[in-house]
Amino acid sequence: MRMCVRHEPMGVITNLYFLFSPVHQERTNKSDESYPMMMARPRRRLLAPLRRWWMSKSDSHFQIITYTTILSVAATLWGFLFLFILDGTADPSKSAYVSWSWAALIFGGLIAFYVVPEFSIFLNQKSVLDSILSLDSRPEVLRRRGEAEEAALMLGIEYQKTLVSHYESLGIKTSGKLRHVSKSMQKKQKLSVIEDELVVDSENEQSALMKWLNTRDSHLSRILPGAPVLHELIWNRLILIFSGLTGILLLYNMMFGLASIDGGSREYTVDFTLFLSGNESIHSLAPHFDGVSIILTATSLTLLYLTRPAGEIKIEWED
């Protein structure tokens, strides 16, 4: 007895899903193994460098996804607003921006289509980890330990360090997944203690200028205790150099002048108040003092002063 099977027509989406489904791939591999392997090898070779780079940046996946999401969404919004809301295509003076806006809309939208769901997954894991880090109950943290470690491993090394520090504050022993993080933190703590001792010994023999350049405890770092980067030498030196140069240039501009007119001598002050107000003529014969320049100079010199070493706080008792 012969049976007849009726085949119903499949839709476009169903057909596409079937073509890329694991069942279809398995059937294709069983029927013809040589052709898919030949097609897969060049594709694997092309994607291999990108895959290696992505795996090497495992601790920065959250940051990369976050920045890519922000840029792609911003590009998509810009293209949509410029082309359809602001009607930039109808303005001849803005014709140079039309092609760039279309590119931002198309490519930004494609990238956002793939990246935004990944970003939501990372963001969900971050919210889970933040909620666990806010707990002060040791049993509750132990109960949600698996969630916390999974989220920290996904988010990167900085979040793993934060979780290990939270474990230590609650007296929880670090598990095997984060044991390497705990060991590296202990080594860095020992090295930082030794480094601080060497810095203290060397600071006793340094001049006032060298103490200023090598300080890790500036007035600015005490005013902003929530900014740990201000305790690093490189950032304090950068702020010192930037504020110092800015203050000197602004003072020189007001007193002696930095600008010249028609190729003459530099004896004209650039008036920043006139510049911000949009005036065509922004030069005045030096010395000349305007309000914006005075505010900028005072801000720069104040910032320069705040980079100085704070020193020890001494309390004197009166008899």
Ranked by mean pLDDT, the top range of 7-11, 188-192, 236-240 is: 236-240
**Residues whose CB is less than 8 angstroms from the CB of residue 111 and which lie 6 or more positions away in sequence, other chains included:** 68, 72
How far is CA 261 from its chain centroid? 43
CB 151, CB 125: distance < 8 Å: yes
CB atoms within 10 A of CB 226: 5
Strand ranges for the chain from DSSP E: 268-270, 283-285
The pLDDT of residue 192 is above 60: no
The predicted-structure confidence for 19-35, as pLDDT tens digits, reads as follows 344 444 444 444 444 44
User: Has residue 66 been placed in a domain?
Assistant: yes
Are 106 and 168 in the same domain?
yes
Q: Which residues constitute the domain of residue 99?
A: 58-181
Decide if 243 is inside a domain. yes
> What are the CA-CA distances from residue 31 to residues 34, 42, 43, 175, 190 (Å)?
9, 21, 21, 47, 62
When pLDDT is averaged across residues 127-136 and rounded to a whole number, the result is 91
Mark whether 168 and 67 lie in a shared domain. yes
Residue 143 and residue 74 in one domain = yes
Tokens of 258: 């930095």
C-alpha–C-alpha distance, residues 105 and 77, integer Å:
7
The pLDDT value recorded for residue 106 is 94
Single-letter residue type at 315: I
Whether pLDDT at 208 is above 90: no
Please compute, for residue 58, the number of CA atoms within 13 A of its CA located in the half-sphere on the CB side. 8
Q: Using one digit for the tens of pLDDT, what is the confidence trace for 56-113? A: 887 788 889 989 999 999 999 999 988 888 777 887 877 888 899 999 999 999 999 9
pLDDT in tens, 155-181: 888 888 888 888 888 888 877 778 777
R_g over Cα of the chain: 31
Tell whether 177 and 237 lie within a shared domain. Answer: no
Q: Average pLDDT of 212-222? A: 82
User: Looking at the domain assignment, is residue 152 inside a domain?
Assistant: yes
Distance CA 211, CA 222 (A): 17
Rounded CA separation 73/75 (Å):
5
| Residue 38: inside a domain | no
**What is the chain's mean pLDDT, rounded?**
77
- SS3 for 284? strand
Is the entire prediction scored with pTM above 0.85? Answer: no
pLDDT at position 207: 67
pLDDT confidence tier of residue 272, bands split at 50, 70 and 90 = confident
Examine residue 319 and state whether it is found in any structural domain, yes or no.
Answer: no
Residues 235 and 171 in one domain: no
Q: Is the pLDDT of residue 15 over 70?
A: no
Number of domains in the chain: 2
Helix (H) or strand (E) holding 47: helix 34-56
CA separation for the pair 72, 109 (Å, rounded): 7
Looking at per-residue pLDDT, the higher value among 187 and 244 belongs to 244
pLDDT tens digit sequence for 290-305: 888 899 999 999 989 9
Q: What CA–CA distance (Å, rounded) separates 51 from 69?
A: 19
For the ranges 35-49, 106-120, 193-207, the lowest mean pLDDT is seen at 193-207
Give a yes or no: residue 29 inside a domain: no
Helix (H, G, I), strand (E, B) or coil at 283: strand
Return the DSSP state at 285: E
Buried b (16+ CB within 10 A) or exposed e, 33-46: eeeeeeeeeeeeee
Please check whether residues 171 and 269 belong to one and the same domain.
Answer: no
Mean predicted confidence (pLDDT) in 306-315: 67
User: In angstroms, what CA-CA distances link 307 with 176, 207, 238, 301?
Assistant: 43, 16, 10, 10
62, 177: one domain: yes
For tokens 């929880």, name the residue. Answer: 172
In a domain, 43, yes or no: no
What does the pLDDT average to over 197-207? 54
Cα 160 from Cα 149, distance rounded (Å) = 8
Please tell me the total number of residues recorded for the chain in this structure: 319
What average pLDDT does range 208-231 have in this prediction? Answer: 79
The torsion of the CA quartet 159, 162, 168, 174, rounded to 10 degrees, works out to 10
187 found inside a domain: no
With bands split at pLDDT 50, 70 and 90, how would you rate the model's confidence at 131? Answer: very high
Average pLDDT for 9-28: 41
Q: Give yes or no for residue 228 having a pLDDT over 70.
A: yes
